[in-house]
Amino acid sequence: MLEKTVKYILDKLDKANVTCIDYAYYIKDDEMFEDSYDYCDEFDKLYDLLIFNLYVKHGIDPYDDSNSFNKFKKENGKWVAEWFNPMELAIKVDDILNNRIPSQVIEILEE
């Protein structure tokens, strides 16, 4: 169910040529649309299914301010989840879905 829902949302974004979603903006056809909430439902759902569940699964406080999740974006043809803090932390969505997250990444998120 989780994987099907995530893939459905990502396919929807792909079909719309959306390559990045943040809560308050998105990038479509290489153009940024700021202050637009067109894809905030998709962002919220992906966040809950992927990031929140990742935190809970590994005993990480999802409300800890030291972990500031930023956006979902397409990088080299693959969707990734990217944090603002820890800076430059990015995990492939497929790795989250398949529980292939290196222990070093979990340690960084636990700090």
Q: Would you kindly state where each structural domain of the chain is located, as residue ranges?
A: 2-110
CA distances to 15, 18, 19, 48, 58 from 12, in Å:
5, 9, 11, 17, 29
By the 8 A CB rule, do 43 and 21 touch? yes
Query: Greatest CA span in the chain, whole angstroms?
Result: 38
53-111 tens-digit pLDDT: 999 999 999 888 888 999 999 999 999 999 998 888 999 999 999 999 999 999 999 88
Question: Which tokens hold the place of 107?
Answer: 């340690």
Q: Which residues contact 24 (CB under 8 A, 6 or more apart)?
A: 34, 35, 36, 37, 40
> pLDDT value at position 65?
83
Q: Bigger pLDDT: 24 or 55? A: 55
Res. 1 pLDDT band, cuts 50 70 90:
confident
> pLDDT value at position 111?
82
Q: One-letter amino acid identity for 62?
A: P
Q: What is the pTM of this model?
A: 0.92
